[in-house]
Amino acid sequence: MKLSEYRKKVNSGKIDEIAEEFKESCPICGGGNCAKYNGYYTRQVVDEGGTYHKNYRIIRFKCNKKGKKCNKHLTFSMLPSGLIPYVKYSVGFILKSLSEIIREGKSIKEVLNNLTLSGNSELLTISPGEIYQFKKYVNTGINRLTAVRYDGIEIYLNKAVSVIERISCFLKYLSGETDGKIRSLEKLSYDFYENQGGYKTNSMFLLGIPSQFRPV
């Protein structure tokens, strides 16, 4: 689910549309009709367009122990596929920045200038250290895809060795430059999650865990 779609649904109280899948089986105990909406917490998010959301809501659910699985955790939160736990930059923003830097040869300053010019957050900054982290996240995602041989992805990586080469090939793969098929990272991430068992196995999205379990 796109960040904007998730935000609209949460803000307008349409929680059921996000929580539909939990009705059948609670991610914590496996019970039917168990997980109930339990409010939300807020976090900072920079969306794919560079817009800064100071209080982006993430919904939480409480397990009512209707299932058989024992688990010390009682609540869990559900991130949309465009976010990484504890990272304010969205997956879309990370990818867009890396694409401009690696493929178009732009400097960090130019990337930020473009955002400011398009009327978005003037307060936004990215440090070289953060760009390094962005590369690490994306490379981890690529490694997860190659580990499960997703869509024959190895072919598209062209035996790239360095992280930069791998990301560069991956960006081409997403843009459809290699075979005319345009792919969305969020869709890829969700496919991967579903293929690995989805919420029932608390599977990963490509760049992080969607459900975070907590003891209370």
Of 10, 45, 63, 83, the residue at the interface with Zn ion (CB under 5 A) is 63
CA distance 7 to 3: 6
Least distance from Zn ion to the Cβ atom of residue 196, Å:
21
Residue 78 in contact with Zn ion, rule: CB under 5 A: no
Nearer to Zn ion, 26 or 115 (CB): 26
Dihedral (Cα; 36, 56, 6, 86), 10-degree rounding: -80
State in angstroms the smallest separation of the CB of 26 from Zn ion.
3
Interactions with Zn ion, residue window 5-44 (CB under 5 A): 26, 28-29, 31, 34
Q: Which is nearer to Zn ion, 34 or 145 (CB)?
A: 34
**Least separation in angstroms between CB 63 and Zn ion:** 3
Residue placing its CB nearer to Zn ion in the complex, 19 or 124? 19
Binding site for Zn ion (CB under 5 A): 26, 28-29, 31, 34, 63
